[in-house]
Amino acid sequence: MKNISIMKAICLPGFLLLLLIGIPALAQQRTLTGKITGDKGEVLPGATVLLKGTTTGTSANAEGMYSLPIPADQTSGTLVVSFIGYLSKEVPIGNQSTLNVTIDPDSKGLQEVVVVGYGTQKKESITGAISSVTSRDVGRVHAATVTGTLAGKIPGVQFRQADGRPGASANIQIRNMGGNPLFIIDGVPKDKTQFDNLSPNDVETITVLKDASASIYGSRAANGVIIVTTKRGVVGQKSTINLDAYYGFQNWTRFPTVVNAYDWNLGKAEAEVNRNGTTAITQAELDKYKAGTEYGYQSFDWYDFIIQPNSPQSNINLSASGGSDRINYYISATRLDQNSVMGREFIFNRSNIQSNIDVRVTDRIKVGLTIAGRQETRENPGVPGGDDYVAPKFAILRNRPGERPYANDNPDYINTISNPASNWGYLNYARSGFLKEVYSSITPQATVEYQTPIKGLSVKGLYSYMFRDSQREVFEYTYDTYTYNPSTQQYNRTGGSQNPYRQRVVNKIDENIGQLQLLYTNTFGKHSINAIALTERLKKRERNVEARTVPKTNSLPVMQFADIVAYNDADFTQARVGYIGRVNYGYADKYFLEVAARRDASWKFSPTKRWGTFPSVSMAWRITEEPFFKEWTNDGAFLNDLKLRASYGMLGDDNVRPNNADLDAFAYNPGYNYNTGVGIMSGTTTVAARDRGIAFDRISWLKAKVTDIGVDFSLLNNKITGTLDYFRRVRDGLPAVKSDVFVPSELGYALPQENLERDAVVGGEASLVYNGDIRGVRFTIGANISYARNRFLSPYNPRYGNSLLEYRESLENRWSNIFWGYEAVGQFQSQEEINNYVVNNDGQGNRTMIPGDLIYRDQNNDGVINSRDERPIGYGINNTPILSGGLNFTLQYKGFDFAMDFSGGTMMAINRQFEQRNAYQNTGNVPRLLFDDRWRRADPLNPDSPWIAGSEIPLRYNDTGHSNINKNSTWWLLNISYLRNRTMELGYTLPALLTQKVKIQKARLFVNTYNLFSIDNTRPYGIDPEVQDENGLQYPQTKLFNFGVNLSF
């Protein structure tokens, strides 16, 4: 209720303001109509039409038509027409009632303003590797998170969505630099969670800083920076209300299929014969399973029982925007509801609000107020001792097809099965309990900008406060399981869970950020200068309280003090401070220079290691502005713009612990940790203290030296634009422990880490976009590709026992993410071949081998297959692709629009393990892939029956120790390549003459798909190409089919 009240308090004043601004003047008016077209007659839907000097304006509809009410007696006004990529044009209106306007393309195409660190720059003056997408690019991808909208759109941004559960985010990296980039939202640093959970409807632009241009963010910029600006009102914009809504259906892209009860028992009998030469399963039993009519011999489809096809997902956004010469506003509310494909009670929803208001108080003072809020809820049944989403997925492969969720199919009695933790029968709120997580955040932010009397000099202050509250409530019930005796018709209790569990976690974060900026912009003849000096301070406090109990009953709604088994209370404080300076200089719109530096301090390090300085320099040369080049190219008739640029800088990273974990508070000080345990001495309970060990006082920033050389170009009157970049980043000071310093084990602790090692990432990227217009059909075709690979340069003083260990373990000057294993060169074709094979393939003289088993290459020719035969066999697993790219296509014709995006990658791998490798893993089910084309005997019950060759190894029953299974090899390592259709959308904008009759300015209907199909090499295995879990049982991505509407009033 408190969170709802907060949202009401934010939204209500904003919408009241909207109503006050939107009241039209009650004066006599006339209507000016016309059509907006380009120089070749192409219609320009969405072109802005504004009566100069007023707030009266509109936009052209899908046919390029506009209708603008103006005062009846006004004949001296001027119409201002503008459209992205075209030159603005002013036309006197006179006393005309119809005025058609033709505008010309922007031949330079470089006046576009791009968001950069702490400001904006014209595209022509940018000296770094900076890419961006707009609200149009983001809006057409109806993903649950903003991260999901970026796949394939920006060169140098690697993407892999391994987890598709509702509300899940994706792994996103810039140039495979490792770790998350720094996220900046409306000028303020934020974490990835806040970025993920923005409403895509509120995003205006997303800019990516990929090189030394990120150095202005200093200590956290080593992995690149992603800058988000949210939508704001525009001076002179007509008050508009927009509704964007869609409703769709989700299904898994793919998931491994399994065998039925007959095949399971047939395969089990076969597997036992393969290992032991005999089986207890008889042909009569197999016949009963095949018939499937008798009690106890029927097959059950766990996939069909668990999966809910066409699971719903919906999103609705209502926004209002407008502006006058004094005040601009954008107010928005979004609601996302996403159910799980696993159905039942797995629910995710998120509500967002965004309010951006700018007020020009005087000609010199401008004030801005931004309020962003989010509330996110996850609810699903509780799973004793397991992951609430993992258990039902495991059930599909781990539950035997001859077992059923309910005893005698009676829902009142949960069946006792071989893997009880994955029995989907009890997974609901009533039986197993529940898990509920609620995340809420509110971020008010205020800015004040003062334009001083000195030309071009202004002062800006910013204050941002963020409060985030998260609550996690888990209650796992006790329950009973039963078996059914058909002869007595009795249900017998045989198991269940008698280990109740209750957990409550409350986490609260307060974050304060302040900035003070001094900005100077001026032009002196051919010289232009833009400078900024800034200080930024951050203070963050996080409090966490956790209580765990063992409740006495499922029905108790509160936690009892007497039931508490664990209680934890933590309080953390962080602080950062930075001083920033940057100067941009340009001469004659062809020579550009940028020099920047930042000095940062972090709370993580000791006072002597706390401060770091991060400088950068970059330059660019627009060679097409040189007279000699214009002469060579016939004044740019073919090559319109060519800019060469180069940058070098040092960036920082204070994440010096594995998995981005923070250093312990005051880890640089020696001392004691209290309350680390208790002991009873002479009947007295004593609270223990433990020495903290050697202080972490020698560790500081990772320092990344980044080099980039690039080219930007445009051809054929800017119809073709593109970029090329080469980059290299070298990191110094990777944390490691001095392996040559001996610490006696009696001390009870190890040496702390120091900045000792180096690595690098090197690569290149390219992008190309073509804008065309053929007889009124406007289209764009875009493509981008990126290669980025990591190399470990120098480990600290490595030592190896012999040359083989050095070959295996050395990292020096080697590519990272290399997978080692055995080379499988084929399968044994007969028992005779096995008997005559001179290499000990299984470590047991080949006594466990049968036809169809794997043959490994004896790399060192010593007659034994062992670890000395392992070699690099593929790319590292669970990484973003080394080579990635995207394809983008848009088309507009009259009222129709079409868009299609692809993203893809290669040079990454998955190592098939567990259920993907071992038939009957944990005595569960068998993937159909391993069953259908296996090596098998003609008569599975007769060990002397002839073999039938297949493409898969022969079955064994949960035999994880066999050489087929226990060795990582080329047989199981799958080097992945894929091209995925991320989104496809077809829209139609209804004629304005029709919609305006019902007071609707614009109405657009659309159908949209997300993850519709993928061209890849993982389909035969039933796994999604972006999955990372080696058993293939990760919650796969979902494909969506949506119907939606966009309305403007």
User: Which residues constitute the domain of residue 76?
Assistant: 2-103
Residues 6+ apart with CB under 8 A from 45: 60, 61, 62, 63, 64, 892, 989
What pLDDT digit, counting tens, does each position of 165-210 carry? 888 888 889 999 988 899 999 999 999 989 998 999 999 999 999 9
- Number of folded domains that form the chain: 2
799-850 pLDDT, tens digit each? 777 887 788 778 888 898 889 999 999 999 999 999 999 999 998 999 999 9
Which DSSP category does 610 fall into? Answer: -
- Cα(516)–Cα(509) distance, rounded to whole angstroms? 24
Q: Which of 298, 132, 116 is nearest to 212 (CA)?
A: 116
pLDDT at 467 over 50: yes
The two structure tokens encoding residue 399: 């539950």
Q: How far is CA 399 from the centre of its chain?
A: 32
First to last CA, the chain: 32
536: tokens are 């930024």
pLDDT number for residue 26: 37
631 three-state secondary structure? helix
Q: 893 phi and psi, to 5 degrees?
A: -145, 115
* Amino acid sitting at position 258: V
Q: Residue type for 829, please?
A: Q
Euclidean distance between CA atoms 382 and 387, whole angstroms? 8
Of 483, 504, 491, the closest CA to residue 382 belongs to 504
Say if residues 168 and 1037 touch (Cβ distance below 8 Å).
Answer: no
Better-scored residue on pLDDT, 383 or 626: 626
**384: pLDDT strictly greater than 70:** no
**Between 705 and 91, where is the model more confident?**
705
Q: Which has more confidence, 1031 or 836?
A: 836
Q: What SS3 string covers 544-593? A: EEEEEECCCCCCCCCCCHHHEEEEEEEEEEEEEEEEEEEEEEEECCCEEE
Cβ burial 225-264 (10 Å sphere, 16+ → b, else e)? bbbbbbbbbbebbbbbbbebbbebbbbbbbbbebbbbbbb
Question: Shortest CA distance to 186 belongs to which of 201, 171, 202?
Answer: 202
Nearest residue to 396 via CA among 962, 950, 1036, 1038: 1036
Question: Dihedrals φ, ψ of 1007, to 5°?
Answer: -120, 145
pLDDT range class, residue 491, cuts 50, 70, 90 = very high
CATH of the domain at 98: 2.60.40.1120
Indicate whether 606 belongs to any domain.
no
Task: Please report the pLDDT score of residue 111 as a whole number.
Answer: 61
CA dihedral 154, 156, 157, 158 (to 10 degrees): 130
Lowest mean pLDDT among 238-252, 743-757, 783-797, 833-847: 743-757
Tens of pLDDT, residues 975-1015 = 999 999 999 999 999 988 888 888 888 899 999 999 999 99
261-276 vs 283-291: helix crossing angle, rounded to 10 = 160
443 Cβ contact partners less than 8 Å away, ≥ 6 residues apart: 370, 371, 372, 373, 464, 465, 466, 467
Report the distance separating Cα 47 and Cα 718, nearest Å: 19
Cα-to-chain-centroid distance, residue 944: 55
For the stretch 673-676, contacts whose Cβ atoms lie closer than 8 Å and that sit 24 or more positions apart, written own/partner, are none
How many Cα atoms within 13 Å fall on the side-chain side of residue 1049? 12
Contact between residue 984 and residue 1008 where contact means Cβ atoms under 8 Å apart: yes
708-733 average pLDDT score: 94
pLDDT at position 10, please?
A: 43
Model confidence at 258: pLDDT above 50: yes
Q: Give the chain's length.
A: 1049
Q: What is the pLDDT of residue 422?
A: 65
Does residue 894 or residue 1009 have the better pLDDT?
Answer: 1009
Range scoring the smallest mean pLDDT among 342-356, 388-402, 805-819: 388-402
Query: Nearest 5°: CA angle at 352, between 346 and 353?
Result: 160
In degrees and rounded to multiples of 5, residue 704 shows phi and psi of -110, 120
Query: Average pLDDT, stretch 63-91?
Result: 78
Question: Is residue 864 assigned to a domain?
Answer: yes
User: Over the Cα atoms of the chain, what is R_g?
Assistant: 33
Tell me which of 835, 869, 903 is where a domain ends: 869
| For residue 162, pLDDT beyond 90 | no
pLDDT score recorded for residue 200? 92
Domain boundary among 45, 70, 103: 103
- What's the Cα-to-Cα distance from 145 to each of 168, 452, 497, 786, 871, rounded to whole Å? 8, 41, 37, 23, 40
- Whether 401 is covered by a domain: the verdict is no
Centre a 10 Å sphere on the Cβ of residue 466 and count the other Cβ atoms it contains: 19
Of 528, 527, 724, 530, give the one whose Cα is nearest residue 645.
724
Task: Provide the mean pLDDT of the chain.
Answer: 87
Question: Does a structural domain hold residue 176?
Answer: no
> Other CB atoms closer than 10 Å to residue 682's CB: what's the count?
5
Task: Judge whether 710 and 726 are in contact, CB under 8 Å.
Answer: yes
Question: pLDDT tens digit string along 14-69?
Answer: 444 444 444 333 345 678 888 888 766 667 877 888 887 666 778 787 778 888 88
Burial category of 918 from C-beta neighbours within 10 Å (exposed 0-12, middle 13-18, buried 19 and up): buried
pLDDT band with cut points at 50, 70 and 90 for residue 9: very low
Reduced 3-state DSSP string for 681-719: ECCEEEEEEEECCCCCCCCCCEEEEEEEEEEEEEECCCC
> d(Cα 300, Cα 395) in Å, to the nearest integer?
12
Of 322, 382, 760, 794, give the one whose Cα is nearest residue 554. 382
Q: At a CB cut-off of 8 Å and minimum separation 6, what does 1017 contact?
A: 974, 976, 977, 978, 1025
What pLDDT does 917 receive? 86
Q: Is the pLDDT of residue 606 over 50?
A: yes
Are 432 and 496 in contact by the 8 Å Cβ rule? The answer is no
The answer to whether residue 197 is domain-embedded is no
| CA 671/CA 77 separation, integer angstroms | 77
Which amino acid type is present at position 809?
A: E
In this structure, which amino acid lies at residue 33? T
Is 713 inside a domain boundary? Answer: no
Q: Is residue 805 part of a domain?
A: no
Residue 781 lies in a domain: no
Predicted pLDDT of residue 678: 64
Query: In this structure, what token pair is assigned to residue 56?
Result: 């009266």
Please state the rounded mean pLDDT for residues 596-607. Answer: 92
Task: Report whether pLDDT(622) > 50.
Answer: yes
Domain final residue pick, 74, 103, 132: 103
Answer whether residue 487 shows pLDDT above 80: yes
Amino acid occupying residue 893:
Y
The Cα–Cα gap between 904 and 151 comes to: 9
- Best CA proximity match to 886, nearest among 249, 289, 358, 153: 153
- pLDDT given for residue 7 in this prediction: 46
